A = this chain, B = another copy of it.
């Protein structure tokens, strides 16, 4: 999506950072913002004196020095104006134009007085299917500078950065306070040079860590540690030093304030690294910086707001990335050494994702929310254990335990980094499913702490079974499935006993669910999930030779589907059946619930097809669209949390087109959640209501336009909310690429009505681009490998195209043309 943001898009923040590494973001003025390196969220956290600047000198002209950011825009309100650390009083560039196509960012910075064109390219490598190559705690910041003047230009680009290690809070003047003593150090080794930011904290200290601002460039100048002191001597001397000749002098003393220094004396340590080049007229050169960080330690406990047992909080557990890199310098050296390959793969993925023909909003949604996986919402512990919050509050994780009923909606990880979802299934079925089959829907085993005592969640528990099927089907590892199956069987059997009190095959007792309340009686959400889970269970049992289970689940699925349809389908959509909708609070009764077919949607994505009567499903999802999508919310009355409002469009969670709204309906019923919007959009597309699905996706993304909300952060209960990872669903549904690893088949059935449908696709072992055009179809593999018994294309005009025995390696292509010609293979 070639949306271009400018400096007025003040809430846009493009996050850099890898899977499980934390982030620093770049705003629409090109500024560094939201420092979240140290295993905790920190939206709004700024690092003082941390910025890039440019100095340009030409013979006979006054040198010009500028902060490499677009100008600050109003409001300028602050209890101390802008504190000194923000350097708001330095001149900036007249304009900035940001084009963020995750995972790649470009910001064009321009100013007529500069005689230079500057483009910042920033990214952290992202390689599909590769958690490690996509999990580097660092980023490339490359300033491409073109001399547009008629004379040679001496150019310095200097990055300055405060040592971020050990920050424990901010004082009233907005300056960070530190545990331990940060220390900056100049290094030139391992093919890079720059500043290593360290600390005297012990290696097991929770705050221990390091950072590095480096370059592979040899034309450098540096002031590794500014003067520090009670006042801001350091920045004055730095700025004057830079302005004077574009070369930085190392300081000979730490501070001009005579020692000894009291304990409250500032521990802030800032350093600058510059790259210096002379550019001929019209010459363009890169000034490339590698930023890296390394905060290895987490407390061995969630310490979240739900209150899971935190017995391990006194211990330390390491991030997975800390087992790969000794410190931030090691990260930077690794990034430098592997950059050409990593960048090439990242660009190939970027091109496959953004260069296809799917509608811009669909690609934008799928791409932008990948940031969730690389945000503070997610992390990977040593031994590659994936764990995640629901989202990220401003300064803490939101709702711990890789919550099953929230992650239910997520598709992006399953299809791009399936290892992560497999890890979650292992946690769920090996460690969180009790002997009686009750699954703790928030996992505490990842930290080795006591399991959570709470009632089970019907949607989360049953969804996990469908997702286990999805993961197995995508990876095709029967042994892995066999290891988890016992837990899955317990979890599925638990549903009959726990939620089907009267044994009629339809779940109808007290059912906790993702709306954080309990539904009573037969309802569409729980039973659509049940049917899907039973089908998934049957397929898995079948594969593993558990024929009795398979038959039992298949029979139960049929019974549940039939009875649910009879009980809940009102001729238009599926309801909740209650004699008195107000006997219990928080029900929906005759309401048209957006999630009424969540199970069916999961079944579609997982390749299970229709598990409920197709005609009724199509009618019901059409009703969801008709009743719950609003072109404007100006007349909407909601006293709940608000994610869409005023003239914005959005899909509400529920409506009561036939009356019957409870006095106190469920507590989120009038809200708009992007995760549900995406799952409904996905479902609409699967059912052929393509335009309706696309309209919803556009609505979501229009709300995230950089001015209203950041394009790279869809919040629900927390920023970077996991449910928004449902955003991969519309891409799957539209492109129609369905991979079945156990069968070794790949089927393409595009649902977009377009002359050429070209999109990124993934399988458990490879990824590339699939294209269906007027004359046939083609697959190109960019990474991994793909061995298929059969490749099938359901071509919109040419009918079915097939190839058999397809074996592709990275770089290979296979093309299928009309059946009159035999399929070409490589």
Contact = CB atoms under 8 A, between A and B. Distances in A.
Interface of A: 10-11, 43, 65, 71-72, 74-84, 86-92, 171-172, 231-233, 235-237, 239-240, 243, 256, 305, 391-394, 396, 398, 517, 585-586, 633-643, 645-646, 663-665, 667, 670-671, 703, 707-710, 713, 715-719
A262 to B, nearest CB: 11
A586 B394 CA distance: 38
B305 A91 contact: no
A79 B717 CA distance: 7
A150 B634 CA distance: 25
Ranked nearest first, the 9 interchain pairs of A and B with the lowest CB-CB distance are A89-B638, A88-B642, A81-B643, A82-B642, A89-B642, A74-B708, A235-B639, A11-B75, A11-B77
Contacts of A586: 231
A79 B637 contact: no
Nearest to A586: B231
Q: How many copies of this chain are found per oligomer?
A: 2
B232 A667 contact: yes
A322 to B, nearest CB: 27
21 contacts: A71-B646, A74-B708, A76-B709, A79-B391, A81-B641, A81-B643, A82-B642, A84-B640, A87-B639, A88-B645, A89-B637, A90-B638, A90-B639, A91-B637, A172-B396, A231-B517, A232-B639, A232-B640, A235-B639, A236-B663, A237-B663
A645 B715 contact: no
Contacts of A84: 639-641
Given A172-B305, A393-B172, A708-B76, A236 B89 contact: no
Nearest to A516: B231
Given A79-B398, A88-B642, 9 more contacts: A11-B75, A77-B715, A78-B715, A81-B643, A81-B715, A90-B637, A232-B639, A233-B664, A243-B637
A98 to B, nearest CB: 16
Given A90-B638, A639-B87, A392 B79 contact: yes
Contacts of A240: 663
A405 B2 CA distance: 55
A719 B640 CA distance: 32
A268 B118 CA distance: 53
Contacts of A703: 76
Contacts of A305: 171-172
Contacts of A82: 641-643, 645
A328 to B, nearest CB: 27
A664 B229 CA distance: 12
A709 B665 CA distance: 42
Nearest to A41: B79
Nearest to A238: B639
A231 B87 contact: no
Contacts of A663: 236-237, 240
A633 B398 CA distance: 42
Contacts of A232: 639-640, 667
Contacts of A171: 305
A544 to B, nearest CB: 42
B256 A645 contact: no
A80 B75 CA distance: 22
B634 A91 contact: yes
A46 B703 CA distance: 24
Given A74-B707, A172-B396, A91 B635 contact: yes
Given A74-B708, A585-B256, A639-B235, A80 B646 contact: no
Contacts of A713: 77
B709 A77 contact: yes
A309 to B, nearest CB: 17
A236 B171 CA distance: 40
A10 B75 contact: yes
Given A87-B639, A637-B239, A639-B236, A79 B664 contact: no
A646 B72 contact: yes
B77 A642 contact: no
B72 A645 contact: yes
A394 B79 contact: yes
Contacts of A72: 645-646
Contacts of A709: 74-77
Contacts of A11: 75, 77
Nearest to A43: B79
A70 B396 CA distance: 32
A710 B75 CA distance: 9
A642 B665 CA distance: 50
Nearest to A87: B639
B172 A77 contact: no
A667 B231 contact: yes
Given A83-B641, A636-B89, A77 B585 contact: no
Contact of A236 (B75, B664, B707, B710): B664
